[in-house]
Amino acid sequence: MSQDLIRETACAVVDKLRAGDVTPLDLLELLEKRIAEVDGKVNALPTLCFDRARKSAKALMQKPVAERGRLAGLPVPIKDLTDVAGVLNTQGSPIFRDNIPARSDILVEHLEGNGAVVYAKSNTPEFGAGANTFNEVFGATLNPWDTSKSAAGSSGGAAVALATGMAWLAHGSDMGGSLRSPASFCGIVGMRPSIGRVAHTPKSAVDRNLGVQGPMARNVEDLALLLDAMSGEYAADPLSLPSPATSFLSAARSGKKPKRIAYSPDLGITPVDPEVRAITRKAAERFAEAGVIVEEAHPDWREAHECFHVLRAFDFAISKANLLRTKRDLLKPEVIWNIEEGLKLTVERLERAETQRVAMTARAVEFFKTYDLLLTPTTIVPPFPIENRYVAECAGKRFDNYIEWLGIVYAVTLACCPSLSLPCGFTASGLPVGVQVVSAPRADAEVLAGAKVLEDILGVRGTTPIDPRVKK
């Protein structure tokens, strides 16, 4: 098989699978070779499971093409926070460096039922904590545009695999930008869908919804294809939603333009690097070329920092407190801090945070009665040096903790809105910048349609995959 196939879109490769021009085994052979050539420079896919993948591919190939699901045998890596039966799942933690689950997460079972072939686990920070992908088990994942820079996180391994041609599609997850920030830093597309859009196995609490699972890809159409393959209702996940009557891929291809969009450089809550601000503003204003009204506006989400700090801390407390009690010496400082912050919470602080979130969501719903989409920078800085654990300051403001620099994405999380990071340009030094495209709760199709219109205007589709640019 020609290595040129690595550069094809996921939609085109699935068409070739359906036509019988290639087989899932052919694709696995290509990926195995590409990973051998590239991954040593970026460390995106530390755990490979090609024997399992080939067994799955052969079983799938016994079925008629029409019964092989939406992905028809396309290989997909899974983030190393999510269980895949028989495959190492470390969660980026020394505590689980030898953990091999017996059963896959609902998400993985659903993807495999839709024709995905799992061949690797993508790197993540410990328990997904922190927007810089490094851990004590596998080390750091490097940004392929400049290997001295961070790939962000926590879905950094997935983003880098896409950007370097080690994946056509990838699974990720997102609480405070964990899909969107790596997409911005690596020049690919990542979407945080609406709550319940992608079913997963509930853990610690049935109604945990700050974090969601979502798709990552190199362009909007491919992203929509994967969201279709991920979507669907499962009784075991009581928050899960049925698949829509019209596919997300059809929505992305509809050509439906928003009538009026808002751009905000900062949501009124965060500093932003001047170069990032200029690049994203210019991208948003280009919507006008399609006859779209562009105005500067944003919802009132002033409570975002306080609210997210409390609700994230509570989530860490209910999911990780036992590890603090029994394995404290194996946890990184940021995770310890998050859990301890959660254990200190009072019912009054939780009540206040939940009330704030309800108000933020209500204001979002009202805002989107006027505007079809809201655009912002996805990250407030370009990719930063890999040795920095997180962004400590921006535009002269020092942050109080390691997550505050992510306010521009976690405000959207709190308001229950679907959002997507779309590549929109490059800094003067050649580093990618992403623009965040946001819509009303459950308006996932509108995000995809609008993002595809802007993607066509900007003409940045096809800038990946690249070979890693090794710098020190």
The residues that are catalytic are 79, 154, 178
**Rounded Cα–Cα distance for residues 174 and 182 (Å):** 10
From start to end of 131-245, where are the E strands? 134-135, 139-140, 169-174, 189-192, 212-217
Rounded to an integer, what distance in angstroms lies between the CA atom of residue 467 and that of residue 145?
8
CA-to-CA distance for 347 and 360, rounded, in angstroms?
20
Omega cis (within 30) before 243: no
Instruction: Read off the amino acid at residue 435.
Output: V
CB atoms within 10 A of CB 86: 14
Burial 295-333 (b: 16+ CB within 10 A, else e): eeebbebebbbebbbbbbbbbbbebbeebbeeeeeebbe
Dihedral sign of CA atoms 438, 270, 297, 277 in order: negative
d(CA 144, CA 151): 8
Do 131 and 185 form a contact (C-beta atoms < 8 A)?
A: no
At residue 88, what are phi and psi to the nearest 5 degrees? Answer: -50, 130
Q: What are phi and psi of 290, to 5 degrees?
A: -100, 10
In this structure, how many other beta carbons lie within 10 angstroms of the beta carbon of residue 10? Answer: 23
How far apart (Å, rounded) are the C-alpha atoms in residues 328 and 321?
Answer: 10
Task: Check: CB of residue 308 under 8 Å from CB of residue 404.
Answer: no
